[in-house]
Structure 1
């Protein structure tokens, strides 16, 4: 009966906090806040791309060579560019007709303010002279390769490709080891981002109700442990709603990607398999949120003003970043000492074990890890409730004082 009453009280607190958070206009702003982040990122990316494209459009590489060499240089340039990605290709090639002193002409081309010349080649192709600017060493190497290709074409008597490869995409059935590592990092980053974005709201929850005296009313009617756990469950329900909303949108957006875009992720995958990994990811996100949320709830319960809450935000963020760094190191070095430390340390254990699921196919360690993390959730809630009871409500030793005061009477 006592356990049923505590469970009912906990769920009542959870429902109260969930409704008070979700059924407000501000929750819609919170739910759509990633759109604002995405919008800022898109605007910044467009601005950066525009600047980069503008500077790239003005940039060129030049070859000072007779008109008879222009077709061979152009054909060789077209073949060499096929091995570059569009954003990594050298600047556009311009073949200039020699006019008198080619060295002076090259110097004039480099100093031309109308065109940003990264590098220029002049002289005979078998002993070319190449001059390049501050950031043109790579383009100078490209011009040297271009001259070598033209000479080899002439030596072979053919300016066209001698081989005709049959190229077809290959789809792996199983992810590679590096694909496991990438999946491990994505798992760590995903849980870190979600907990950083969602769990920090727990800091101000208790302080807000403490300032308006609601917490005293709740503490008088419900055990503090039930209050803490109820609030934690209520906030976790808000987090699940947020993740479900954006998870649905992202899953639909992935279906709109072209086949080549989806094929990029073909080599990335967890060692335990996708279905088991999804279940474990959800479980570890739950543990990470509950554990960090319990810590933040206990810390925030000690704050009296919004200024104190703001001061607490920095060390909380530092702790989260430290756990992310430790877990990232564990993801890149499975089975190492640092990986075992990250998997055992309570605050980093959910992150590191999610990475463990991506790197190792064994399932039995996850049952122990989830039980270990659940134990620390309970310990953290108990410590936070007792600290709040003794430090704020000043009632930690109430029964002993009452018993002692009853004896003299």
Structure 2
């Protein structure tokens, strides 16, 4: 058996050992369903916050102090204007008050009313109204200005504005918009970042148990440390693939039940290279991002001797991942800048940046160069990690390269 085949076989043996040891445990089920637990708690919190917000919004009003002759036009203008707002963006409900006494005094008293919370109050002539508004009533004041304009126009036209019956025809684009491509690029970068943030950090502690029970010395005596490091990295990557495959299947079934409007929104996110190629590149760049960050984290975690030290490494590791994400987004906002070039060339941020490029540009040759460049750095990080572990932890001293050993 050749040296390369033996090294590959030893690597896959280590990978299979770590994969089985991780997956076939009760703790893995907790890890697998962790997103469901997080979503459940987030949903409970969001529902509570939404109920509190809705309860408060029920009492908020915008008020117009106008004569009865104008009140009907004001209400009609409000009905027409509200159809352009989403439910969560609608202005507060309109309340009409009949002028009594001094309008300014009446408006100030309306702000102190215990029946509702006024956010903006209009009074005076419609062509020169006065609007009082609270700390968060700027948009409500603008909305009342629009209603006053519409009501004044209706009054001068004899009672109401003319109705327009428009013919609405749905249309599907044949190509993605520039905004859709930019949104797809951001989602691609965020997707790779989120998955690596959630999954790659698991690699840090894989060497701790091996060091505590002295198994690493047996492995190091049986197979090269490069095979141990790469095998552990591939084993944990297999765990990540299993995790993504499980939740990808679940989400695929859930999204099929969503309304057709959701499909239309997804259609606007068409990548520049086409959906099949983009899917392939996204999976490939997630793989490279996991291997690159995982190899660095494995090297760092291998130097820790206790779980306390590994826990202390969690914050710096998270900062590194967030830093790569921030660098990529900065380069993505300025595609032709030197910052974008740095994000594409720097090994740890290159998968993020190239995933964004796949969505925003239809050129394919940069991806071949980038993947070769990233694979080279995976090999460098794995080799460097094994040598640092050999010299710093096992105290084995320097070892001659394999090509010199072969010559000897």
When normalised by structure 2's length, the TM-score is 0.95
Q: Which residue of 1 aligns with 2:124?
A: 123
Q: Is the 8 A contact 1:185 1:332 kept in 2?
A: no
Does 2:210 match 1:196?
A: no
* Partner secondary structure for residue 83 of structure 1: coil
Give 2:304's aligned residue: 303
**Residues 153 and 161 of structure 2 are in contact (CA less than 8 Å); yes or no, is this contact kept in structure 1?**
no
Secondary structure of 2:105 counterpart: helix
Q: SS at 1:95's partner residue? A: strand
Task: Name the SS for the 2:79 alignment partner.
Answer: helix
C-alpha distance in 1 between matches for 2:154 and 2:98: 21
- Residue in 2 that maps onto 1:335: 336
Give 1:44's aligned residue.
Answer: 45
1:105-155 deviation digits (Å, cap 9, x = unpaired)? 221111113310111122332332222222212212221221111110122
Structure 1 residue 398: deviation in Å? 6.5
Unmatched runs of 5 consecutive residues or more in structure 1? 401-409
Partner of 1:370: 371
- Say yes or no: does 1:269 pair with 2:273: no
- Residue 235 (structure 1) aligns with: 236
Aligned-partner SS, 2:95: strand
The whole-number CA distance in structure 2 between the counterparts of 1:396 and 1:371 is: 31
For 1:119-268, what aligned pairs fall within 5 Å after superposition? 119-157=120-158, 159-268=160-269
Task: Spell out, residue by residue over 1:173-207, the C-alpha distance to the aligned partner (whole angstroms, 9 max, x if none).
Answer: 21111211111111111011111111111111112
Instruction: Between 189-198 and 67-76, report the one with greater CA deviation.
Output: 67-76
Partner of 1:356: 357
Q: Measured at CA, do residues 396 and 67 of structure 1 come closer, stay the same or move farther in structure 2, by a change above 3 Å?
A: same
Alignment check: 8 A CA contact 1:330 1:355 kept:
no
Q: What is the root-mean-square deviation of aligned Cα atoms in Å? A: 1.6
CA distance in 1, matches of 2:81, 2:334: 38
Cα distance, 1:59–1:399 mapped onto 2, change above 3 Å? closer
Aligned to 1:65: 66
Q: Is the 8 A contact 1:342 1:352 kept in 2?
A: yes
Instruction: Name structure 2 gaps, 5 residues minimum.
Output: 402-408
1:285 matched residue in structure 2: 286
Listed one character per residue, the Cα deviations across residues 256-281 of structure 1 (whole Å, up to 9, x for unaligned) are 11111221222212111000011111
Q: Do 1:76 and 1:146's aligned partners in 2 also have CA atoms closer than 8 Å?
A: yes
Match of 2:136, SS state, is: coil
Q: Distance in 1 between matches of 2:270 and 2:330?
A: 19
Report the more deviating stretch, 126-135 or 236-245: 126-135
- C-alpha distance in 2, partners of 1:47/1:216? 53
Give the whole-Å Cα distance in 1 for the aligned partners of 2:43 and 2:170: 31
What is the TM-score normalised by the length of structure 1?
0.94
The answer to whether the 8 A contact 2:123-2:129 is kept is yes
Quick one: distance in 1 between partners of 2:80 and 2:400? 86
41-50 vs 193-202, which deviates more? 41-50
SS across alignment from 2:61: strand
341-350 or 41-50, which moves further after superposition?
41-50
The alpha-carbon deviation at position 343 of structure 1 amounts to 0.9
Q: Which stretch of structure 1 is more off in the superposition, 37-46 or 192-201? A: 37-46
CA contact 2:73–2:159 (8 Å) conserved in 1: no
**Cα pair 1:334 1:359 within 8 Å, conserved:** no
The question of whether the paired residues in 2 share the 8 Å contact of 1:386 and 1:396 is answered with: no
Q: Distance in 1 between matches of 2:167 and 2:379?
A: 61
Cα shift readout 1:152-184 (whole Å, capped 9, x = no counterpart): 012223514442211233221211112111111
Give the 3 Å change call, closer, same or farther, for CA 247–398 of structure 1 in structure 2. Answer: closer
1:89 alignment counterpart? 90
